[in-house]
Structure 1
Amino acid sequence: MASSLTKDSASTTGTEKTFLGHPRGLANLFMTEMWERYSFYGMRALLVLYLVAPASQGGLGFNMATATAIYSVYNAMVYLLALPGGWLADRAWGARRTVAIGGTIIMIGHFLLAVPVEISFFIGLAAIALGSGLLKANISTMVGHLYPDKNDPRRDGGFTVFYMGINLGAFFAPLTIGTVGQKVNWHFGFALAGVGMALGLLFFFLGTRHMSADSDVVPTPMSETERAAIIKKILMWLGVAAVAYAALAVSGHFTVDWAIWPLTIAGLVIPAWYLLRIKRDKDLDQVSQSRMSAYVWFFVAAAAFWGIYDQTGSTLSVFAQDNTSNSLFGLDFPSSWFQSLNPLYVMALAPVFAWLWVYLNKRRQEPSTLSKFAFGLTLIGLSFFVMMLAQAASSGGVKVTPLWLCMVYLIQTVGELTLSPVGLSLTTKLAPEKYASQMMGVWFLAVTAGDSVIALLQLIGAPTDSSYWFASQGGLAVLAGVAIFMYRRKVQPLMGGVH
């Protein structure tokens, strides 16, 4: 298959192979990312279902609140750890080595989940979060390295091909890993996710010679003194944590809450601290300060969006299993299959939206970035109003039609395609020059903050089995979207000329 997708490049000596007209290394990075996303979304489709399944069904038997909190904290840590992942590549290992190390840690983590021992499961979950942070922060950078000329006309197309790999992996994962986990054995499903990551690593290492030499470069390497100081601090804090948790374990007081609460608080404090640190930097001029003031509001709104959106693998996943008839047009299917709807919708609708914005722009009718952002936030809120109705329809043990969830995921996907690209664009436009690279990591911290808020709500006892759970969050998101739209003319001046 690979040979049929390669051809001689007309722009080179005639001997260089290309992948769909792009540098040959894109094929290997495409396959690496596809299989990594396959493992990530496949495991995620099973995670909460396994946590809430009783021991008699092979699960861990957690209550819904604890299971959702674990899921939310895990998601939050994946995006939080992307920051140190990028830092390690810049200061210590380079992008290629960091991706290789991250992928290996992810693979080990999945295989640890496959071991039917509770402590192994949580160690594996931590490993996947850590490895995902290392890989996620750098594999896109490696795609960019394939195009040393920033004006290469193939560059945007290369990222589009790479993005399709993400969605292909996310689409097939629940259909296979979800089916094996739910119908055969939970741990076989987790093991299949590990096999997926192993395949991704295989493609990555086979393509080493096709990667750019820039991916091996450490842009700002640490001095030996700095490296020693950092290692000393890391070991000190790890030692403090190890002693503290060992004492809790020995005394018999350790519960999973001792791990969830500190991580939840970190997921809220670190994004707030990072934004405040940038906002209060005295090196920033007045325009940059004003832009950061505007960005804080967008960040909070994005956190609300992702906090709702990421519940596809938690509250919506449990609703699919417990309250939805998993049969349509005579076809029976596992509840985890619903997790394939979002990537399917993205692949179908992304080209439509790309065409729509160009079409409207030519007629000078394209909505402003603020209006798009407000629309996306409003849609994610409306999706939870639909969930409120679905929850009400399922009262008394009634199994509702799967079309409810199909509609919810469709609304959320349209909201994602409206808000997510705009959020990335706004981040690059509003970023102070001093923090141009770091601000992309800050944008991902909105996911961390949103998921941490959901974890916190679960920890303090918010009822997820009630219509009020969906109604309250949906209402707040809609109000935030409407507020951004109504006050867009007042927010615009803070953006310092950015449109």
Structure 2
Amino acid sequence: MASSLTKETTAPAGENTFLGHPRGLANLFMTEMWERYSFYGMRALLVLYLSATVADGGLGLTLATATAIYSVYNALVYLLALPGGWLGDRVWGPRKTTAIGGTIIMSGHFTLALPWEGSFFAGLGLIAAGSGLLKANISTMVGHLYADKNDPRRDAGFSVFYMAINIGAFAAPLTIGTIGQKVSWHLGFALAGVGMAIGLMFFLLGFRHLAPESDVVSSPVSADEKASLLKKAGFWALLAVVFYGVVVGGGWYTVNWMLWPLTIIGLALPIWYLVKIKRDRDLSGVEQSRMTAYIWFFVVAAMFWGIYDQTGSTLTVFANEHTSNSLFGMHFPSTWFQSLNPLYIMALAPVAAWLWVALNKRGKEPSTITKFANGVFLIGLSFLVMMLAQGVATGDTKVSPLWLCVVYLVQTIGELTLSPVGLSLTTKLAPEKYSSQMMGVFFLAVTAGDSTIALLQLIGAPTGTQAWFASQGAIAVLAGVAVFMYRKKVNKLMGGVH
């Protein structure tokens, strides 16, 4: 981010531009903004709708089940980005894959809007699948807009694109959240579908402004590979149909029959992938050492995202049940709290960028490991603040909304410290053989973290209690301290990377 604020952004003479960038950035910006609007709007309502009583129009699920569904869904979105990227590279190309993904997401939101339990879960599945397709390919197309890899506008272009995410995420809880909570859950879900439809329209209308490279299948799958994959996919699909057919036919089916397998996959797949890379005999000794270091960072990152992503689950429940939704005489729905994080990011990201540049000039910029340690420490600290807030919210007492304002502020500072550093570390430590795959591996840390939280919720951990917040907060704080204390040893494993 820092470099993007300091580089020249002048466009070549005669180029049709958007804020000094290739014209296609405007369409990708609007597509991403409206897709994020639909995603975060639906997410703001998800746990509240699942746990609301049937009389209030919800599904009447227990809080533990509702939060577990949220965690599994969030894990799936990032897990499915891996096959989404593969389809973009080898089958359809980024442009077509993104269009298909947006269409599936839109269909999923409108399916959620139907007043039946079965359609709701089908809609969630569609949104997760579509998000995996779109998420893995739209950022790639931003890069394609700059034919010269050294174009000085490139970093700034990604910064402009990043703002689209936060604008959409900021607006969604204020509008979709309000409609869903105050008018109708299903109308809120439908509004999310309208948002994705608008984003898809901007994308389709902007085809002519995208780079030709975005329509190219860079590494087409061969006929033999395609046949083999179809056979394997068909086998597993048939096995799933038979298995769940027996479960449903026997009258044993509950939502846990779906949650448990997905949770286990969300934990097992990242572990398998890391072990596969680590045991690859083609890796040099230095690359093996770097992968050892990366595994430790991966575990800590999973811990960070597992806590951070509870924005839409345990923190949303706390906002709805234990927080006074009134400040300075103004009343507002509890979903509005989820607009705080993107608001803080838009306000603080330029400050963070300026700070790193200023410290670097003085030779005092923290190392990437130190930034990483600070990020994990801060996310743990936010949950220790939540522990105190939960303690204040006894009986019918509702706490001041300033508690959550502080929690989200601390989490945002931690995100700005850790997230870009995690991406940077991934590119630096990636073995050459897996250089393009490692970014997908980094996103698997989100899957692993959310799946761990889902597992705790499924086995009956006391969600939303002081013990819940205290235990996770303490572990994350200790992890941050440990990473900082052992930074020199980790540096040695990193084989010269800093």
Q: CA deviation at 1:465?
A: 3.3
For 2:4, the equivalent position in structure 1 comes to none
Q: Contact (CA 8 Å) 2:11, 2:20: kept in 1 or not?
A: no
Question: For residue 199 of structure 2, what is the amino acid of its counterpart?
Answer: G
Question: For residue 26 of structure 2, what is the amino acid of its counterpart?
Answer: A
Q: Contact (CA 8 Å) 2:378, 2:477: kept in 1 or not?
A: yes
Question: For residue 418 of structure 1, what is the amino acid of its counterpart?
Answer: T
For 1:98, the equivalent position in structure 2 comes to 97
Q: Contact (CA 8 Å) 2:113, 2:120: kept in 1 or not?
A: yes
Question: For residue 62 of structure 1, what is the amino acid of its counterpart?
Answer: L
Question: For residue 100 of structure 1, what is the amino acid of its counterpart?
Answer: A
Distance of 1:264 and 1:415 partners within structure 2: 26
Distance of 1:410 and 1:12 partners within structure 2: 40
Question: For residue 255 of structure 1, what is the amino acid of its counterpart?
Answer: T
For 1:298, the equivalent position in structure 2 comes to 297
Q: How far does the alpha carbon of each residue in 1:9-36 deviate from its partner, in whole angstroms, 9 at most, with x for none? A: 985562x411011000000000000000
Following superposition, which runs of at least 4 residues in structure 1 exceed 6 angstroms of deviation?
none
Question: For residue 115 of structure 2, what is the amino acid of its counterpart?
Answer: P
CA pair 423-12 structure 1, distance change in 2 beyond 3 A:
closer
Distance of 2:468 and 2:224 partners within structure 1: 51
- The alignment partner of 1:395 has SS state of coil
For 1:406, the equivalent position in structure 2 comes to 405
Question: For residue 216 of structure 2, what is the amino acid of its counterpart?
Answer: V
Q: Contact (CA 8 Å) 2:82, 2:136: kept in 1 or not?
A: yes
TM-score for both structures, normalised by structure 1: 0.97
For 2:88, the equivalent position in structure 1 comes to 89
Q: CA deviation at 1:441?
A: 0.3
Distance of 1:10 and 1:20 partners within structure 2: 9
Distance of 1:12 and 1:158 partners within structure 2: 15
Distance of 2:162 and 2:391 partners within structure 1: 37
Question: For residue 267 of structure 1, what is the amino acid of its counterpart?
Answer: G
Distance of 1:361 and 1:13 partners within structure 2: 34
CA pair 333-11 structure 1, distance change in 2 beyond 3 A:
closer
Q: Contact (CA 8 Å) 2:111, 2:119: kept in 1 or not?
A: yes
For 1:168, the equivalent position in structure 2 comes to 167
Correspondence 1:454-469 to 2 at 5 A: 454-469=453-468
Q: Contact (CA 8 Å) 2:11, 2:21: kept in 1 or not?
A: no
For 1:3, the equivalent position in structure 2 comes to none
Distance of 2:301 and 2:12 partners within structure 1: 43
Question: For residue 161 of structure 1, what is the amino acid of its counterpart?
Answer: V
Question: For residue 358 of structure 2, what is the amino acid of its counterpart?
Answer: Y
- How many residue pairs match? The answer is 490
For 2:381, the equivalent position in structure 1 comes to 382
Correspondence 1:119 to 2:113: no
Distance of 1:428 and 1:75 partners within structure 2: 24
For 1:496, the equivalent position in structure 2 comes to 495
Q: How far does the alpha carbon of each residue in 1:48-107 deviate from its partner, in whole angstroms, 9 at most, with x for none? A: 000000000000011111011100000000000000000111110100010000000000
For 1:30, the equivalent position in structure 2 comes to 29
Correspondence 1:107 to 2:109: no
Distance of 1:67 and 1:45 partners within structure 2: 13
For 1:313, the equivalent position in structure 2 comes to 312
Q: CA deviation at 1:183?
A: 0.2
For 2:5, the equivalent position in structure 1 comes to none
Q: Contact (CA 8 Å) 2:356, 2:365: kept in 1 or not?
A: yes
Q: Contact (CA 8 Å) 2:374, 2:480: kept in 1 or not?
A: yes
Distance of 1:461 and 1:48 partners within structure 2: 17
Distance of 1:417 and 1:93 partners within structure 2: 34
Correspondence 1:21 to 2:12: no
Q: How far does the alpha carbon of each residue in 1:221-257 deviate from its partner, in whole angstroms, 9 at most, with x for none? A: 0111211221121122111101111111111100000
For 2:130, the equivalent position in structure 1 comes to 131
Correspondence 1:430-449 to 2 at 5 A: 430-449=429-448
C-alpha RMSD over aligned residues: 0.9
Correspondence 1:277-292 to 2 at 5 A: 277-292=276-291
Q: Contact (CA 8 Å) 2:10, 2:153: kept in 1 or not?
A: no
Distance of 2:353 and 2:300 partners within structure 1: 23
Distance of 1:193 and 1:249 partners within structure 2: 31
Q: Contact (CA 8 Å) 2:102, 2:200: kept in 1 or not?
A: yes
Correspondence 1:222 to 2:221: yes
Question: For residue 389 of structure 1, what is the amino acid of its counterpart?
Answer: L
- The alignment partner of 1:264 has SS state of helix
Distance of 1:144 and 1:84 partners within structure 2: 20
Q: CA deviation at 1:397?
A: 1.7
Larger deviation, residues 230-239 vs 404-413: 230-239
Question: For residue 471 of structure 2, what is the amino acid of its counterpart?
Answer: S
CA pair 352-206 structure 1, distance change in 2 beyond 3 A:
same
Q: Contact (CA 8 Å) 2:428, 2:497: kept in 1 or not?
A: yes
CA pair 357-239 structure 1, distance change in 2 beyond 3 A:
same
Question: For residue 231 of structure 2, what is the amino acid of its counterpart?
Answer: K
- The alignment partner of 1:148 has SS state of coil
Q: How far does the alpha carbon of each residue in 1:332-368 deviate from its partner, in whole angstroms, 9 at most, with x for none? A: 0000000000000000000000000000000000111
Question: For residue 487 of structure 1, what is the amino acid of its counterpart?
Answer: Y
Larger deviation, residues 244-253 vs 446-455: 244-253
For 2:482, the equivalent position in structure 1 comes to 483
- The alignment partner of 2:472 has SS state of helix
Correspondence 1:152 to 2:115: no
Question: For residue 132 of structure 2, what is the amino acid of its counterpart?
Answer: G
Q: CA deviation at 1:444?
A: 0.3
- The alignment partner of 1:399 has SS state of coil
Larger deviation, residues 227-236 vs 213-222: 227-236
For 1:360, the equivalent position in structure 2 comes to 359
- The alignment partner of 1:396 has SS state of coil
* Structure 1 stretches lacking a partner, 5+ long: 1-8
Question: For residue 130 of structure 1, what is the amino acid of its counterpart?
Answer: A
Question: For residue 36 of structure 1, what is the amino acid of its counterpart?
Answer: E
* Structure 2 stretches lacking a partner, 5+ long: 1-8
- The alignment partner of 2:17 has SS state of strand
- The alignment partner of 1:41 has SS state of helix
Question: For residue 334 of structure 1, what is the amino acid of its counterpart?
Answer: P
Q: How far does the alpha carbon of each residue in 1:366-411 deviate from its partner, in whole angstroms, 9 at most, with x for none? A: 1111110001100000000000000000011201000000000000
